[in-house]
Amino acid sequence: MLAPMQGLSNRELRDLFIDWVRPDVVFSEFIRVAGGKRKTLRPAQLQDIAPHEGGVPLVAQLIGQQPELLAEAARALQDAGVEHINLNLGCPFGRTTSSAIGGELLSQPAQIPPLLAALRKVVTGSLSVKLRAGYDHPQQLFELLSPMEDAGVDFLILHPRTVIQQYRGSADHTITAEAVQRTKLPIIANGDITTAAQGQQLLATTKAAGLMLGRGALADPRLFKRLRGQAPSEASADELRKDSVHLLRELLPRYQKRYCGQTQVLAKLRSLLPYLQEAGCRTIIEQLKRAKTLEIFETQLKRLETL
């Protein structure tokens, strides 16, 4: 699965990954569901979550804390053609000025079952949850497994860090292995999967039902193919460099069609650069970050291409 990555996994990037390395499943960026006058999805959101061509399922991820509004959003998504819904209980930055959302909801676990019940009542396709191991203690996960089963969730995606840990330290996949043993729900392992060897070992040792790739897939898009044995198991520096160029080159015209003006296009391209800092390219990557125009960006990209 290609992970939901806020600000990154937009439709253009997902389309490119489907055309290039074909993940089995792709996820939207989270769709924030909140109170207020707006009750329908915006045109830009509908454009982003239209089902992809080629038969790769799209899972739309929702983030929010009001059961009736989450259910309403799920109905609207299904009316727009989305079959699969995911609830975000993992984002470590999930607090608005007045309420907890995302991973912050793990600090208020009593709020979670009503959210799942409301979604399960209206979702006709799969309903999944992406969550952290706990809010401030990783053993909290094991208290959540039964409520998830009782709510009729179809599968879980587990990132075995706590919410307060954010992205520090390492993902502890011994927690993933224990969770697999303690629930009947399929568990997708997520977190710190950057090589085919890591992914294959993780599947073997945890017995997880699958893998979700995020930052590791941006750094090495062929990781999907490496895991399937369709590409060399280890990436060379030269291959990573060429794939970084390909990623940026392919996204540039797609972003020019989607976004308004070069400022927005440059911002979207620059947001990917921190994930492409493989050895030997850092100087030019830094120059790409500082490019003030698309012309300068493309000039530096050509330099990266000819190293």
Pairing, β 31-32 against β 84-89:
unpaired
> What tens digit of pLDDT does each residue of 206-216 get?
999 999 999 99
pLDDT value for 39: 57
pLDDT, greater one: 219 or 41:
219
pLDDT bin (cut points 50, 70, 90) of residue 97 is: very low
Question: How much of the chain is helix, strand and coil, in % rounded to 5?
Answer: 50, 15, 35
CA–CA distances in Å: residue 305 to residues 123, 203, 210, 218, 268:
46, 35, 34, 17, 20
Q: What are the φ/ψ torsions at residue 124 (nearest 5 degrees)?
A: -95, -20
181-210 mean pLDDT: 97
Tell me the domains of the chain and their CATH numbers.
11-228 (3.20.20.70), 237-305 (no CATH)
- Paired residues of 63 in beta bridges: 32
pLDDT, position 98 = 60
Assess contact for 275 and 252: CB atoms under 8 A.
no
**What's the rounded mean pLDDT across residues 267-273?**
95
pLDDT of residue 201: 97
- pTM: predicted TM-score of the whole model, two decimal places: 0.93
* Per-residue pLDDT at 307 exceeds 90: no
How far apart are alpha carbons 58 and 40 in whole angstroms? Answer: 20
pLDDT at 94: 61
pLDDT higher than threshold 70 for residue 145: yes
Does the pLDDT of residue 180 top 50, yes or no? Answer: yes
Name the residue among 7, 137, 115 with its Cα closest to residue 69: 115
State the DSSP code for 165: T
Backbone torsion region of residue 221, taken as left when φ is above 0, otherwise alpha when ψ lies between -120 and 50, otherwise beta: alpha
Q: 């997902």: which residue's tokens?
A: 14
140: amino acid identity, one letter = Q
Q: What is the per-residue DSSP string for 243-268? A: HHHHHHHHHHHHHHHHSSHHHHHHHH
Write the burial class of residue 304 (CB in 10 Å: 0-12 exposed, 13-18 middle, 19+ buried). Answer: buried
What is the average pLDDT across 16-30? 96
Task: Please compute the mean of the pLDDT values over residues 231-245 and round it to a whole number.
Answer: 92
Radius of gyration (C-alpha) of the chain in whole angstroms: 19
On the question of pLDDT at 264 being above 90, the answer is yes
Say whether pLDDT at 278 is over 70.
Answer: no
Mean pLDDT, residues 130-153 = 97
Least confident of 11-15, 97-101, 167-171: 97-101
Side chain identity at residue 296, one-letter code: I
Please list the active-site residues.
91
Mean pLDDT of 163-187: 96
